[in-house]
Amino acid sequence: MISLNGFWDFGFSGELEEYPGADKVKFTTSLPVPGCFDVEPRFKLRRGVGVYRTRVVTGGPVTLTFDGLGPKAEFFWDGRSIGRCDLPFSREVLRFDAGAEGEHTLIVAVDNRADDAHDSLFPGFYDFYRHGGIYRPVSICRTPDWEIGYVKIIPRDIVRGIADVTVELAGAFPQEVEANFSFDGRTPEVRRISGGRGTFSLTVPDFRLWSCETPHLHRLAVSAGGKVCEKTFGMRTVEAADGRLLVNGKPVKLLGYNRHDCHPDFGFAVPEALVKRDLELIKAQGCNFIRGCHYPQSETVLDWCDRLGLFVWEESMGWGNGELDLTNETFRARQHEQTRRMARKSVNHPCVILEGFMNELRSDLEPGRTLVRELAAILKEEDGSRPVTFACNIPFKDISMPEVDVLSFNIYPGWYANPQMSDVQQFDAEGLETALRKYETLLERPEFKDKPFIISEIGGAALPGWHGDVRWTEEYQAELACAVFEHVLAAERCSGLAIWMFCDTRSYNDYRIPARPRGFNNKGLMDEYRRPKLAWNAVTKLLKKAGK
Ligand code: ADA
C-alpha cells in the first residue's frame, strides 16, 4: 500500500466555463493532499473545477482508495475516466488495470460548482460551506489475487468476553481456507472459512471493557493463506432499553457538542493535530460526547475518540431535505449507498454508539418515513449492534420517529421564534424551561415510552467579542448554554445533549441561509479558530461544579 498523500500539481478551471477536461487544464501550482483548494489564498471561496494531478509508478491490476472527497469528482488514469464520486465524505475504492509497469498519471477533477439538483447529496443550501477538495488520505496498492476484504467484530457478551467476528474474502479466494485469529498477539485460534465468508464466536483473552473512563482497545489479526488483516476494536455494548441508553449495561448521559470537521484554513481537511486538540478540549471540559454532524466521520476523528474515550454519533449526509429530494430515486439510492458504506467503515470503532442519517429531513411526510425505515434497515443489516436515530426538528408533526431506537430532537427555544419566546431579546430562563417541558410531553406517548431521548441540537449564536445582555452577545449565549446543561443534568428522562455547537463554522449569509453574520454559523461556544467565548468558560465551570 503506497500513500499518495503529499503535494500534487494543481490547476483551476474557472467557474463560468464548461469543464474543459482534465487534459486541457493548466497546472499552475502545487497543493497539499489531503486539502481543500478553496481555502488557499489564490482560490479562496472560488467555485469551479479544481484539478489535482500526481504521478504513480505501478502496473497491472491496482486498487486506488480515497478516504473521502467532495462535493463531486471524476477520476482519470492516463487521461481515461476510471470513475466518479457522487458521495461526498465517503470512501471510494477504484479497482482497475493500471497498464504496463512504469509511470502513470492520476488526475482528480474536483467540482464545487453550484449544484442544487435534487439528486445531490451536498447541494448549496446546507448550512455549512461546500468546500471542494480531497478531504482525506489517498492510497494505492497492487490488487492481490484475493484478500481478506472485511473483518467485523461485534462484542456480544461482555461478561465472558465473547465477540462475533465476521470475515469476508474478496477476489478469487479459495473455497476452503484455514484462518488464524490472534487477539493482541496471542496464540491464534483456528477456524475454517468456506465460500469466502464466515462468522465465528471467539473469546477475547484477558479482555478489558471499553468505556469513556477506561477506553481499553484490543487488536485482532486475522490471517489466512498468507494474507493478513488487522483491526483495532473495543469490548463494549450499547442498548436502548426502558427509555435509557445503556453502555455496558449501565445508563449513560451523553454530554457534549455537535462538531463540524471543518476549519477556515483547511476546510474539511482538518490536520490530525487539530482534530486531536478539538476532541481533547471537549473531553477536558468534562464532556463525553460528540455528534459528528452532518456526514460520515474521518478515521482520524474516530481513532482519536476510540483512544480518548469520547462517545460518537455518526451520521450520513443530509440537511433539511424536502419532498423533491426524498422522492428522487437517485437521491434515495445515494443515501442507501452512503449509509451502508459508513456502517461498514466504522463498525469496529467502539466510540461510535449511535448511528444516524438525514438530519432534519421532512419526517412528517410519507416518503420521509419510508427513507428512515430503509436506512434504519440498512444499518441493522450491516451492524445491528448500535441504536439508530435521526435528528428531528419537527417532533410534534413527525411520523418517522417510531422507526428508530432513539428519539433525538433539534430544538431551539431561546433562539428561533417559538410560541413561548418569540420577540424575546433578553434571556428568559423560565420561558426556556417551559418550552423544554412542552417538548418532553411527547415522551409520554405510548410508542415513545421505552425509547431513550436526546437533545441533539440546541443553542444560540454569539458574535465573538460582542457583549451586552441581548441576543447575539456572548453573555446571552452563555446564559442559554448553562441553562440547557443544567436542565439536562437534572432531567432523568433525558439521555443526552449535543449543544449546537462546538465552534463557529463557515456557512453562507444569503437568501437561503440568512442570519449568518460574517458568513459563519456563529453558534459555536468557541469561535472558528477555537478561541473560547464566554459560554465555553461558563459551561466548563458548571461541569466542574457538577463533578464532571
Ligand atoms: C439546524 C441544523 C444545523 C444548523 C442549525 C442552526 O438544526 O441541523 O446544521 O443549521 O439548525 O444553526 O440553525
Q: Whose CA is nearest to atom 7 of ligand 1?
A: 410
Domain 239-543 indexed as CATH 3.90.1170.50: no
CA-459 nearest atom, ligand 1: 12
Any residues with CB less than 8 A from the CB of 348 and at least 6 apart, and which? 151, 152, 153, 231, 232, 233
Take atom 10 of ligand 1 and give the residue whose Cα is closest.
Answer: 127
Tens of pLDDT, residue by residue over 269-315, are 999 999 999 999 999 999 999 999 999 999 999 999 999 999 999 99
* Amino acid at position 533, single letter: K
Cα 388 to ligand 1 centroid, rounded to whole Å: 20
User: What is the rounded distance in angstroms from the CA atom of residue 123 to the CA atom of residue 318?
Assistant: 10
By the 8 A CB rule, do 407 and 401 touch? yes
User: What is the CATH number assigned to the segment(s) 146-236?
Assistant: 2.60.40.10
Exposure string for 177-201, b = 16+ CB within 10 A, e = fewer: bebebbbeeeeeeebebeebebebe
Q: Report the atom number in ligand 1 closest to the C-alpha of 513.
A: 10
Cβ atoms of residues 331 and 375 within 8 Å: no
Roughly what angle, to the nearest 10 degrees, separates helices 534-545 and 474-490?
A: 30
CATH number of 2-142: 2.60.120.260
User: How far does residue 119's CA lie from ligand 1's centre (Å)?
Assistant: 21
Residue with cell 447529496: 121
* Ligand 1 atom index nearest CA of 393: 7
- The closest-lying atom of ligand 1 relative to the alpha carbon of residue 391 is 8
Ligand 1 midpoint to CA 325 (Å): 18
Sorted by where each begins, the domain ranges of the chain are: 2-142, 146-236, 239-543
Instruction: Please give the grid coordinates belonging to residue 378.
Output: 440498512
| DSSP for 300-353, written as a single string | HHHHHHHHHT-EEEEE-S-SS--HHHHT-HHHHHHHHHHHHHHHHHHTT-TTEE
Burial class (CB in 10 A: 0-12, 13-18, 19+), 17: exposed
Distance 79 CA to ligand 1 centre (A): 41
CA of 105 to the centre of ligand 1 (A): 41
- Substitution candidate for ligand 1 out of 126, 127, 258, 295 with most atoms within 8 A of CB: 127
DSSP 301-313: HHHHHHHHT-EEE
Mutate to test the pocket of ligand 1, among 126, 457, 506 (most ligand atoms within 8 A of CB): 457
Please state, in angstroms and rounded to a whole number, the distance separating the CA atoms of residues 120 and 328.
10
Compute the distance from residue 420 Cα to the ligand 1 centre, in Å: 20
**Grid coordinates in use for 229?**
488483516
C-alpha–C-alpha distance, residues 378 and 381, integer Å: 5
Give me the tens of pLDDT residue by residue for the chain, a chain 548 residues long.
Answer: 899 999 999 999 876 556 677 678 899 999 999 999 999 999 999 999 999 999 999 999 999 999 999 999 999 999 999 999 999 999 999 999 999 999 999 999 999 998 889 999 999 999 999 999 999 999 999 999 999 999 999 999 999 999 999 999 999 999 999 999 999 999 999 999 999 999 999 999 999 999 999 999 999 999 999 999 999 999 999 999 999 999 999 999 999 999 999 999 999 999 999 999 999 999 999 999 999 999 999 999 999 999 999 999 999 999 999 999 999 999 999 999 999 999 999 999 999 999 999 999 999 999 999 999 999 999 999 999 999 999 999 999 999 999 999 999 999 999 986 545 455 688 999 989 999 999 999 999 999 999 999 999 999 999 999 999 999 999 999 999 999 999 999 999 999 999 999 999 999 999 888 899 999 999 999 999 999 999 999 999 999 999 99
Q: Whose CA is nearest to atom 4 of ligand 1?
A: 127
> Cα(168) to centroid of ligand 1, in Å?
39
* Separation of alpha carbons 156 and 447, rounded Å: 27
Closest ligand 1 atom, CA of 293?
A: 9
CA distance 117 to 120: 6
Angle CA(273)–CA(134)–CA(343) in degrees, nearest 5?
80
Give residue ranges with CB within 6 A of ligand 1: 127, 359-360, 393, 410, 457, 500, 521, 523
The minimum-distance atom of ligand 1 relative to the CA of 521 is: 12
| Inter-residue contact 279 to 290 (CB < 8 Å) | yes
Q: Report the separation in Å between the CA atom of 177 and the middle of ligand 1, taken as the mean of its atom positions.
A: 51
Number of CB atoms found within 10 A of residue 288's CB: 21
Using the mean position of ligand 1's atoms as its centre, give its distance from the Cα of residue 56 in Å. 42
Atom of ligand 1 nearest to the CA of 501: 12
User: Which atom of ligand 1 is found nearest the CA of 523?
Assistant: 12
Atom of ligand 1 nearest to the CA of 410: 7
Residue located via cell numbers 487488536 = 219
Q: How far is the CA of 503 from the centre of ligand 1 (A)?
A: 13
319 C-alpha to center of ligand 1: Å?
A: 8
Among candidates 122, 195, 56, 141, which has minimal Cα distance to 359?
A: 122
CA of 441 to the centre of ligand 1 (A): 23
What is the Å distance from ligand 1's center to 127 Cα? 7
**Domain 146-236 in the same topology as domain 2-142:** no
Among 410, 505, 506, 516, residue to substitute to test ligand 1 (most atoms within 8 Å of Cβ): 410
6-16 exposure pattern, b = at least 16 Cβ within 10 A, e = fewer: eebbbbbbeee
